[in-house]
Amino acid sequence: MGIVGRIGGVIGGRDIRCQWQGNNLLGRIGGGVFGWDITLRCQGNHIEGRMGGVLDGRDIVGSWTDASVSVRIGGVVAGNEVELTMMGSTITGRGGGDIFGFDCRLQYRQAQRELSGRLGGDVLGKSVYLQLHSHTPPLIAALVACAAYYYMEITNRSHSANSRGGGS
């Protein structure tokens, strides 16, 4: 296994299960019916992949080092930048813009191989708890958590608009 854990609580949260196949991280976020696939290829310092389905999914493209990740999730028009930095055992950063974005505050405990913390705000954000395989870089796990949070937020907005009679 590469990454196993959960983002969000019992209600409204999603399980995360990913495994490495060579340089590719393949997995699923959520369940078999109401979940989505994620694929990331980490080749050198370049990251590319996709999250979700063919029609409603989002591309992931960017770069990473041992100390930072910089990616774009989605396209030029309907996408978000995610910038993460690791200093010691702390991963911080931001996804999206100043107004409609979210903060990332995660702690990596190397001895336990666990990544935990919070994405989004204290009130409307989501908790993160992930167990990492020994070969999984903590920043890549943090990127998966941020991508899942972003996807959860846009699908929640879409469902909210549809329930109010609005389009998506």
Average pLDDT of span 38-61: 91
Q: How confident is the model at residue 124 (pLDDT cuts 50, 70, 90)?
A: confident
Tell me which long-range contacts 8-17 makes (C-beta under 8 A, separation of at least 24). 8/126, 8/127, 8/152, 9/126, 9/127, 13/126, 13/127, 14/148, 14/152, 16/130, 16/144, 16/145, 16/148
Kindly give the pairing relationship between strand 46-51 and strand 114-119.
unpaired
Distance CA 54, CA 15 (A): 21
How big is the CA angle at 52 (ends 28 and 76), to the nearest 5 degrees? 140
Name beta bridge partners: 84. 69, 93
Instruction: Answer yes or no: are the C-beta atoms of 79 and 72 closer than 8 Å.
Output: yes
- Integer Cα distance of 38 and 51 in angstroms: 4
Q: State residue 164's pLDDT score.
A: 45
Q: With contact defined as beta carbons under 8 Å apart, do 35 and 25 qualify?
A: no
Q: Rounded mean pLDDT of 44-69?
A: 92
Structure tokens at 55: 């029609």
pLDDT of res. 81: 93
* pLDDT, tens only, 82-123: 999 999 999 999 998 777 789 999 999 999 999 999 999 888
Question: What value does the mean pLDDT take over residues 7-29?
Answer: 92
> Hey, is 150 helix, strand or coil?
helix
- Give pTM, 2 decimals: 0.89
Per-residue pLDDT at 32? 77
Break the chain into its structural domains and give their ranges.
Answer: 3-162
Mean pLDDT over residues 52-64, rounded? 88
